[in-house]
């Protein structure tokens, strides 16, 4: 809570110092914000009519370890092309999920996200937050990738589930951190 209070104070100050329109108080802009629009499903999306599309998918991870961190990213040089059949006018996306094992035991899971490509950036696992890595221990990092199709357009806080959501490809890639 001690750390949260200064952040709340700073957030309040930042909100009150925003740009002004002529004659409007600085807080007026915040009161007019109605949230991000929710885009409806694509009406002419048809999962029954299939079309071939090309995708770049990874085959290796980059794992770099220090005494207190493990950095995980996709080896972008390992991308290979695949073709998948996708429903007409359907939106596609990548989902990724990370699990870390010590032997057969899961020691960390939940690193996940959605995007338009296999580039997941670099995620950092660190001793202070995650409890690993520990000296002398070996970890296996598994990254599961899925390509999905949906009729829900990409948008803020995208959750592309629904009756027309379907995983059309998946693969897991592992790397060891010693």
Q: What is the tens place of the pLDDT at every residue in 74-120?
A: 999 999 999 999 999 999 999 999 999 999 999 999 888 889 999 99
**Which helix (H) or strand (E) covers residue 12, if one does?**
helix 4-16
Q: What is the tens place of the pLDDT at every residue in 31-79?
A: 788 889 989 999 999 999 999 999 999 999 999 999 999 999 999 999 9
Q: What CA–CA distance (Å, rounded) separates 75 from 141? A: 14
Q: CA angle 143-155-18, nearest 5°? A: 110
Q: What CA–CA distance (Å, rounded) separates 169 from 148? A: 7
Q: What CA–CA distance (Å, rounded) separates 170 from 24? A: 52
Domain covering 46-177: architecture: Sandwich (2.60)
Q: What CA–CA distance (Å, rounded) separates 176 from 141? A: 6
Domain boundaries, the chain: 1-34, 46-177
The pTM (predicted TM-score) of the whole model is 0.77
Which two tokens mark 93?
A: 């996306």
What is the torsional sign of CA 158, 161, 164, 165? positive
């Amino acid at each position: 809570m001690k750390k949260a209070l200064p952040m709340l104070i700073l957030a309040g100050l930042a909100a009150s110092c925003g740009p002004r329109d002529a004659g409007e108080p600085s807080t007026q802009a915040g009161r007019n914000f109605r949230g991000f629009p929710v885009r409806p499903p694509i009406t002419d999306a048809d999962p029954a009519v299939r079309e071939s599309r090309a995708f770049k998918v990874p085959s290796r991870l980059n794992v770099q370890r220090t005494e207190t961190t493990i950095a995980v990213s996709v080896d972008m040089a390992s991308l290979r092309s695949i073709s998948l059949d996708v429903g007409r006018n359907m939106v596609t996306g990548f989902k990724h999920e990370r699990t870390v094992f010590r032997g057969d035991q899961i020691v960390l899971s939940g690193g996940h996200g959605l995007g338009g490509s296999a580039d997941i950036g670099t995620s950092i696992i660190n001793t202070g937050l995650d409890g690993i890595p520990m000296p002398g221990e070996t970890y296996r990092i598994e990254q599961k990738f899925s390509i999905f199709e949906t009729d829900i357009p990409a948008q803020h806080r995208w959750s592309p589930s629904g009756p027309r959501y379907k995983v059309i490809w998946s693969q897991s890639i592992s790397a060891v951190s010693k």
